[in-house]
Amino acid sequence: MNNILVFTNDLEFGTTLSEKLLHANKKIIFIDNLDDLIDNKELFIIDLDDDEIKPKRIVKILEKHSAIRIIGVMNEIKKSLWEDYREAGCEIIYLRSSLIKNIDSILSKNN
């Protein structure tokens, strides 16, 4: 899995994630607009704490890009939102800190 899209407005998280992914020889593309998703990408890491992201938005992304796998990240897991995002199509949702610490094993599990 070398084609990874990332959507976040959190500069610190984006920088840390980018460093980890580049160290693992992964190609990472940050997107600013959810309407600008690139076809033929395998994985989309999306910041679920962003105001622009709602469960309905996840459904729309998957309608247009059915082959993409979505991993969500949150600062803290909110049970009701977690369930809504899982039903919308997020394969899994991680705490930011867990995703950063375990990105190598997460990516290897998702191959």
Q: Indicate the pairing of strand 27-30 with strand 69-74.
A: unpaired
Average pLDDT over residues 76-80: 88
What are the tens digits of pLDDT across the range 2-20?
Answer: 678 999 999 999 999 999 8
Q: CATH number of the domain that 28 lies in? A: 3.40.50.2300
H/E/C letters for each residue in 51-104? CCCCHHHHHHHHHHCCCCEEEEEECCCCHHHHHHHHHHCCCEEEEHHHHHHCHH
Cβ atoms of 6 and 29 within 8 Å: the answer is yes
Backbone angles phi, psi at 108, to 5 degrees: -70, -35
pLDDT score of 3? 79
Q: Which domain holds residue 18?
A: 3-109
pLDDT score of 105? 82
Q: How many domains does the chain have?
A: 1
- Give the Cα separation of 17 and 4 in Å (integer): 11
Q: Which helix (H) or strand (E) holds 44?
A: strand 43-47
More confident residue, 84 or 39: 84
DSSP letter at 31 equals -
